[in-house]
Amino acid sequence: MFIPTQTAQDLQWFFLLKRDKMSSVTLKNVKKTYDNNKTVINNINLEIKDKEFLVLVGASGCGKSTLLRMIAGLEEISDGEIYIGETKVNNVAPKDRDIAFVFQSYALYPHMTVRENIAFGLKMRKTPKAEIDKKVKEAAEILDLGEYLDRKPKQLSGGQRQRVALGRAIVRNPKVFLMDEPLSNLDAKLRVQMRSEIKKLHERLQTTFIYVTHDQTEALTMGDRIVILNNGDIQQVATPEEIYNNPQNTFVAGFIGSPQMNFINGKDLGLDENILYGIRPEKMTKPDGDIKLTVDIDISEMLGSERIAYFNIGDKKCSAKFDADVKIGKTLEISVCSSDLYKFNPETGERI
C-alpha cells in the first residue's frame, strides 16, 4: 500500500502524541523487601488505567505508602517492573517520572508564601516567569486560593494548606497524581468537603490519580476502582459497587461496610454446617425472610439517622441496622432472606 510521505509523517506524529498522553501505570510482579528481610509487598500485578481514579485501601502497615512511594521512585523496588505509560521507569529518577506526590503532612515550605510554594517546583525547573505566573493563577483559581497567595502557610487553616499542596502538584501538569492520605489531618467536616473537591479536580484535570487511604468511606466515594490491600497482597480490585456487593473473600467482606458484615456458622442458621455465611447488617430484618431466629440484644446504639443493635448468633458477634425510629426491646426477631447470604469457605475465607 502506498502512503504519501506527508500523511505517513502525520500519522507518526499522531501516534507519538497519543502515546505521550498515555498515563496508565502498570505494576508487574512488584516486590519489596526491606533490609531486615521483611517482605512488605509480595508480588503485585496491577494495571491502573489512563485517567482512572484508583484508590488503594487497607489497614495500617499493609504496605500502601510503600507501594505508592515505589511508583514515585522514592523507594527502590526489590523485584519486578513498573511502567508509566509505555515507559519502564525502574531506573528513572523520581523527578523524571512526570508524577506529582501529595503527602499527608502537606510538606510546605514555612518561610515561603503560598504563591512561592506553588511556584517552587516550576522555578527549580527554570520555567519562564510569565508561564509560572499564569500557572499559579490558574491553580489558585481552581482551588479557590486567590486571596491567600501572599500569606505564609502558618497563616492558613489545615484545609487551605492542603489545597496549597494540591496547587503545587497541579502546576506541574503531571501524568500521574499520587496522594498518600492527603485528608487525614483534617476534621471530619472538611474531609467530606475536600473529598468532593478532589473528585472535581480529577474530572477537570483528566489525569490518572492514585490515592491512598485507610478510610473505607473515602475509598467507596472517591474511587473509580478500589484496590484492597492486606499484608502486602492484593485481595480484590473492583468498582466500589462490586467490592460491596460481591466481595471475593471474608477479608474484603469484613473490611468494607460499617458495621461490618456479619459472619455466622452454618449450623447456627440451620443450614450447611461446613459453610461460613455472611450477611450485611442492613439485611438482618427483612419482612419476607425465609430464615428466622430470635436473639438477645446486648446493646443498641442510636446514630442519628439509624440505629444499630448488637447481639450474638452462636459464638459470633453480629449487628443489625434499623431506621432510627424503630424501637428495640430486649430480644429481636431476626429474619433473613437466603438470597442475601454470602457463602465462604470457613478455612480459607474464599467466597464459594
Cα 185–Cα 186–Cα 192 angle in degrees, nearest 5 = 135
Considering beta carbons, is residue 104 or 113 the nearer one to ligand ATP? 104
Is 63 a binding residue for ligand ATP by CB under 6 A? The answer is: yes
* Comparison of 118 and 180: residue with beta carbon closer to ligand ATP: 180
248 binding ligand ATP? (CB under 6 A): no
213 scored as a contact of ligand ATP (CB under 6 A): no
Binding mask 8-47 for ligand ATP (x = CB under 6 A): --------------------------x-x-x-x-------
C-alpha to C-alpha distance for 156 and 164, rounded to whole angstroms: 10
Q: Judged by CB, which is closer to ligand ATP: 177, or 277?
A: 177
32-71: contacts with Mg ion (CB under 5 A) = 65
- Contact between 214 and ligand ATP by CB under 6 A: the answer reads yes
- Per partner kind, with CB cut-offs from 5 to 8 A, the member of ligand ATP, Mg ion, none near residue 154 is none
| Helix/strand/coil for 129 | helix
The Cβ of residue 188 has, within 10 Å, a number of other Cβ atoms equal to: 7
Distance set, CA 45 to CA 67, 228, 240, 299 (Å): 11, 13, 20, 44
Residues 7-36 that bind Mg ion (CB under 5 A): none
Closest CA to 218 of 67, 46, 56: 56
Q: Does 216 bind ligand ATP (CB under 6 A)?
A: no
User: With contacts defined by CB under 6 A, how many residues of the chain interact with ligand ATP?
Assistant: 13
List the one residue out of 254, 198, 251, 256 whose CA is nearest residue 222: 198
Strands, E, within the chain: which ranges? 25-33, 39-48, 53-57, 79-84, 87-88, 99-102, 176-180, 208-213, 225-230, 233-238, 262-265, 276-279, 291-302, 306-313, 316-323, 331-336, 342-344
Q: Is 65 or 248 the residue whose CB approaches Mg ion more closely?
A: 65
In the complex with ligand ATP, which residue's Cβ is closer, 61 or 270? 61
Distance CA 63, CA 217 (A): 19
Which of Mg ion, ligand ATP, none sits in contact with 15, Cβ below 5 to 8 A by type?
Answer: none
Give the nearest distance from C-beta 64 to Mg ion in angstroms: 5
Q: Which residues, including other chains, have CB under 8 Å from residue 24's CB and lie 6 or more apart?
A: 47, 48, 49, 50, 83, 84, 85, 208
Of the candidate spans 64-72, 167-175, 240-248, 288-296, the one that interacts with ligand ATP by CB under 6 A turns out to be 64-72
Contact set with ligand ATP (CB under 6 A): 34, 36, 38, 40, 58, 60-66, 214
In the complex, the residues that contact Mg ion under the rule CB under 5 A are 65
